[in-house]
């Protein structure tokens, strides 16, 4: 397992200190760690368990129960494609395939360059917009906004290539 760097450990320590003693501290701490590091490393679970007196199995159970928590680092941009019934019958599988081929990220995985993660999700409660895709929390109803979605993905790819090789 790759060791966490000192900055990440300091981030987790300050999150743990901030919520220690509050009601329901485990979920508060996990939420902040996910938010700030983009995932929950095992070391964070250990530190949270120690600070709250909960067994690590319980902290791990919370992490795996809630889909908002992940134990692997996510890409810079997270794309979620709904595969619920309304979205599926309106072509979300085709959009998912398109996004996989555009970004190089596998379904429920991250692209080799770390730029995109693609998640296949269940119904997100926006069936009227089916097929639904969200990018970093912004929702696209792809019947009307597929071109906007593609342009945004291309824009992020362009930004990244400019950052990697500035000209
Ligand atoms: S099925 Fe996709 S939002 Fe409901």
Check which CATH number belongs to the domain holding 95 and give it: 3.40.30.10
Strand order in the sheet with 132-135: 109-110, 116-121, 77-82, 132-135, 138-141
145: buried, middle or exposed (CB in 10 Å: 19+, 13-18, 0-12)? middle
Tokens of 60: 């791990």
Alpha helices in 1-127 (DSSP H): 6-19, 25-37, 42-52, 56-65, 85-89, 92-103
> How remote is the CA of residue 127 from the centroid of ligand 1, in Å?
4
> How remote is the CA of residue 124 from the centroid of ligand 1, in Å?
5
Residue 156 sits in which domain range? 77-164
Q: Which residues contact 76 (CB under 8 A, 6 or more apart)?
A: 114, 115, 116, 156, 160
Do 55 and 122 sit in the same domain of this protein?
no
Residue 164 is predicted with a pLDDT of 66
140 lies in some domain: yes
Among candidate residues 65, 93, 115, the one where a domain is terminated: 65
Do 47 and 109 sit in the same domain of this protein?
no
Angle between helices 25-37 and 42-52 (to 10 degrees): 150
Do 87 and 154 sit in the same domain of this protein?
yes
71 lies in some domain: no
> How remote is the CA of residue 166 from the centroid of ligand 1, in Å?
40
Residue whose CB lies within 8 A of the most ligand 1 atoms, among 89, 90, 123, for a mutation test: 123
Residue closest by Cα to atom 1 of ligand 1: 84
Do 84 and 130 sit in the same domain of this protein?
yes
Residue 67 is predicted with a pLDDT of 77
Do 50 and 93 sit in the same domain of this protein?
no
Confirm if 96 and 120 have CB atoms less than 8 A apart.
yes
Among candidate residues 40, 65, 90, the one where a domain is terminated: 65
Please count the structural domains in the chain: 2
CA of 82, closest atom in ligand 1: 2
Cα 35 to Cα 32: distance, rounded to the nearest angstrom: 5
Going 159 to 161 to 162 to 163, the CA torsion angle's sign is positive
Tokens of 138: 């912004």
132 lies in some domain: yes
Residue 74 is predicted with a pLDDT of 87
CA of 121, closest atom in ligand 1: 2
Do 148 and 116 sit in the same domain of this protein?
yes
Per-residue pLDDT of the chain (167 residues; tens, 9 = 90+): 567 899 999 999 999 999 998 998 999 999 999 989 989 999 999 999 999 999 999 999 999 998 788 898 889 999 999 999 999 999 999 999 999 999 999 998 999 999 999 999 999 999 999 999 999 989 999 999 999 999 999 999 999 888 766 55
Residue whose CB lies within 8 A of the most ligand 1 atoms, among 90, 120, 126, for a mutation test: 126
Among candidate residues 36, 65, 94, the one where a domain is terminated: 65
Do 61 and 138 sit in the same domain of this protein?
no
Residue 68 is predicted with a pLDDT of 80
Tokens of 77: 């941009």
**pTM > 0.75:** no
């Amino acid at each position: 397992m790759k060791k966490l760097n000192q900055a990440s450990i300091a981030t987790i320590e300050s999150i743990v200190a901030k919520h220690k003693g509050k009601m329901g501290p485990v979920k508060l701490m996990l939420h902040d760690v996910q938010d700030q590091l983009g995932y929950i490393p095992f070391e964070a679970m250990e530190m949270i368990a120690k600070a709250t007196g909960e067994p690590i199995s319980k902290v791990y159970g919370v992490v795996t129960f809630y889909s908002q928590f992940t134990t692997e680092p996510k890409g810079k941009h997270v794309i979620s494609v709904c595969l619920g019934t309304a979205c599926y019958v309106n072509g979300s599988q085709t959009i998912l395939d398109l996004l996989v081929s555009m970004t190089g990220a596998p379904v429920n995985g991250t692209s080799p360059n770390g730029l995109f993660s693609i998640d296949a999700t269940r119904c997100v409660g926006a069936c009227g917009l089916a097929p639904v895709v969200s990018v970093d929390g912004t929702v696209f109803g792809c019947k009307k906004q597929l071109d906007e979605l593609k342009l945004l993905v291309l824009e992020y790819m362009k930004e990244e290539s400019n950052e990697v090789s500035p000209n």
